[in-house]
């Protein structure tokens, strides 16, 4: 796959905007105010502009400051304007996460695994997924009402053959989760997490193999993900993914800006 194809697919992959979010999208950026349950409720999910990064950030900060929050999360994607990182750091931003943008042509031959895994289809499944996610990523456990709403969305996605949430089990105990979204023949691999007591046993790799098998069976020709350089990226490279560059996440202070 060529770099331009991967960049285009990655730039189309935006962050969440669930019910209750406020989205401000212009020709140059997408600013999202997420519900308070999210750890980073104010996000710039992409910036695409021919203007200087400083000029675009001036507009973004002015708009974001109106929400009264103390900081703004900014994603620096492969297609972001040149000089964005420098402009953010000059304003006092902190880079807190670096990920490789990884892609793999499908179908791909991956080692089969005997891991017990099932796609979220029942309330018990989505509850297991939420317990793992809140334990690994932090945040409160979801209410039954919220879980029921999520389950309805996952069922709709599954019925469309567009992916969903996969939960892995060890001796019947929930051990890991992973997400998959199929969009325009691209398998977006996301949200992989394994509980501490089950790490080091190939669960993340097994869940990835199962997701890619599903994706290929449903017509995907590319698998795309952003793997943290300190955790998932080395695993993904070992199973055949190639890095096409890096993207970073920043927290930009807003108080007094």
Q: What is the pLDDT of residues 117-134, one digit of tens each?
A: 999 999 999 999 999 999
- CATH fold, domain 107-220, is Aminopeptidase (3.40.630)
Ranges in the chain annotated CATH 3.40.630.30: 107-220
Average pLDDT over residues 82-110: 95
Pick from 244, 89, 118, 234: nearest CA to 176 = 118
Q: Using H for helix, E for strand and C for coil, what is the string for 183-207?
A: ECCEEEEEEEEECHHHCCCCHHHHH
Q: Convert 178-196 to b/e letters by CB count within 10 Å (16 or more is b).
A: bbbbbeeebbbbebbbbbe
Mean pLDDT of 209-221: 95
Backbone angles phi, psi at 147, to 5 degrees: -65, -40
Structure token digits, residue 257: 């800006």
Q: Would you state the pLDDT for residue 257? A: 47
State the average pLDDT over residues 67-87: 95
User: What dotted CATH number matches 3-98+247-253?
Assistant: 3.40.630
C-alpha 174/C-alpha 124 separation (Å) is: 11
Q: Is 4 exposed, middle or buried (0-12, 13-18, 19+ CB in 10 A)?
A: exposed
- Of 174, 175, 154, whose CA–CA distance to 165 is shortest? 154
pLDDT digits (tens, 9 = 90+) for 131-185: 999 999 887 888 999 899 999 999 999 999 999 999 999 999 999 999 999 999 9
Residue 234 has pLDDT above 90, yes or no: yes
Separation between Cα atoms, residue 239 and residue 233, nearest integer Å = 10
User: Is the bond preceding residue 114 a cis peptide, omega within 30 degrees?
Assistant: no
Q: Could you tell me the pLDDT band of residue 112, with boundaries at 50, 70 and 90?
A: low
Per-residue model confidence (pLDDT) at position 15 = 84
Q: Are 215 and 180 in contact (CB under 8 A)?
A: yes
**pTM more than 0.85:** yes
Residues 192-210, mean pLDDT to the nearest whole number: 93
Q: Give the per-residue pLDDT at 77.
A: 93
Per-residue pLDDT band for 36 (boundaries 50, 70, 90) equals: confident
């Amino acid at each position: 796959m060529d770099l331009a194809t991967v960049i285009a697919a990655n730039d189309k992959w935006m962050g969440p905007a669930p019910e209750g979010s406020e989205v401000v999208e212009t020709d140059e950026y997408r600013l999202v105010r997420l519900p308070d349950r999210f750890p980073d409720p104010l996000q710039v999910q992409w910036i695409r502009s021919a203007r200087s990064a400083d000029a675009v950030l001036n507009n973004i900060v002015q708009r974001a400051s109106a929400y009264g929050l103390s900081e703004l999360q900014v994603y620096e994607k492969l297609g972001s304007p040149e000089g964005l990182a420098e402009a953010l750091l000059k304003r006092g931003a902190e880079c807190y996460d670096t990920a490789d943008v990884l892609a793999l042509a499908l179908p791909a031959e991956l080692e089969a695994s005997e891991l017990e895994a099932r796609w979220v289809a029942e309330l018990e499944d989505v509850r297991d997924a939420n317990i793992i996610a809140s334990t690994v990523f932090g945040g409160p456990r979801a209410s039954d009402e919220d879980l029921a709403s999520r389950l309805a969305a996952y069922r709709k996605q599954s019925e469309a053959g567009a992916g969903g949430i996969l939960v892995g089990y060890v001796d019947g105990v929930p051990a890991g989760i992973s997400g998959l979204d199929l969009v325009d023949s691209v398998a977006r691999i996301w949200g992989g997490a394994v509980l501490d007591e089950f790490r080091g046993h190939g669960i993340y790799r097994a869940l990835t193999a199962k997701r890619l098998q599903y994706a290929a069976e449903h017509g995907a020709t590319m698998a795309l993900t952003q793997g943290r350089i300190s955790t998932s990226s080395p695993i993904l490279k070992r199973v055949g993914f190639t890095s096409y560059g890096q993207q970073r996440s920043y927290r930009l202070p807003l108080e007094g800006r």
